[in-house]
């Protein structure tokens, strides 16, 4: 790599981080100010501010990884713990169950994985009144983690959703592209944690999942 390229990328990453911090500050003020009063509209204002903060953090994680200046620090984590955290968020908006079929750890980044599952939850929650957060083993020994519902999603639906994002005049596809965190950020986060984003069918349910390598470190314990 040329020296100049490296400096440019580092500077872009630093600018991005600085802008993200400045954007977050007023949103933090709004979110926390809503806790001072009991007016009925305040919880939804807080929710909107916290959703925007989550979007900025998710974008920042993706961008840091894409710039190549900072790879995400992956750590061995039990999938069930992350599924539980995400279920607590999702249960505010829909009926949620957890089906954790994998007890080994995966190499991942906790907040990136939580953001990915929150996006999947938003999308599947739009298509199904009940969602299942599930971890499963894949044929090649990886661990899949995803959100499933009583819906029939196809790879074509996913491809169409990725193409429609940000295009105001496009016809609406099956997958809602107006989720709080865009699908492209979820896909970027999947790549950043060494996984893939995929459509998965399990029994009568189908959903969106990311498939990750297992943590050899904890498997040996």
Interface residues toward other proteins, by CB under 8 A: 21, 24-25, 27-29, 31-33, 35-36, 50, 53-54, 57, 73, 111
Q: What is the number of alpha carbons within 13 Å of residue 126 lying toward its C-beta?
A: 15
Closer to other proteins by CB, 107 or 161: give it: 107
Closer to other proteins by CB, 82 or 164: give it: 82
3-class secondary-structure state, position 13: helix
Largest CA distance in the chain: 57
Closer to other proteins by CB, 50 or 126: give it: 50
d(CA 77, CA 85): 13
Shortest distance (Å) from residue 86 CB to other proteins: 13
Shortest distance (Å) from residue 132 CB to other proteins: 24
Contact 120, 135 (CB under 8 A): no
Shortest distance (Å) from residue 170 CB to other proteins: 31
Shortest distance (Å) from residue 36 CB to other proteins: 6
Q: Which phi and psi (to 5°) does residue 196 adopt? A: -130, 155
Q: Which phi and psi (to 5°) does residue 4 adopt? A: -60, -35
Closer to other proteins by CB, 30 or 162: give it: 30
Q: Beta strand 95-100 with 130-137: parallel, antiparallel or unpaired?
A: parallel
């Amino acid at each position: 790599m040329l020296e100049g390229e490296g400096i440019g990328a580092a500077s872009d990453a630093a600018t991005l981080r600085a802008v993200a911090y400045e954007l977050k500050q007023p949103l933090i003020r709004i979110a926390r100010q809503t806790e001072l009063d009991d007016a009925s509209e305040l919880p939804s204002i807080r929710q909107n501010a916290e959703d925007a903060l989550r979007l900025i953090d998710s974008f920042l994680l993706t961008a840091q990884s894409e710039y190549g200046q900072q790879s995400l620090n992956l750590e061995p984590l039990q999938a069930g713990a992350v599924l539980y955290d995400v279920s607590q968020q999702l249960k505010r908006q829909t009926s949620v169950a957890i089906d954790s079929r994998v007890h080994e750890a995966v190499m991942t980044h906790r907040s990136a994985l939580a953001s990915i599952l929150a996006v999947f939850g938003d999308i599947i929650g739009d298509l199904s009144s009940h969602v299942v957060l599930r971890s499963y083993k894949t044929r090649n020994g990886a661990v899949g983690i995803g959100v499933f519902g009583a819906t029939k999603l196809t790879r074509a639906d996913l491809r169409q959703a990725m193409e429609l994002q940000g295009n105001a005049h496009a016809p609406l596809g099956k997958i809602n592209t107006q989720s709080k965190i865009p699908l492209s950020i979820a896909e970027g986060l999947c790549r950043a944690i060494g996984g893939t984003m995929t459509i998965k069918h399990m029994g009568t349910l189908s959903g969106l999942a990311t498939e990750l390598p297992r943590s050899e470190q904890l498997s040996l314990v």
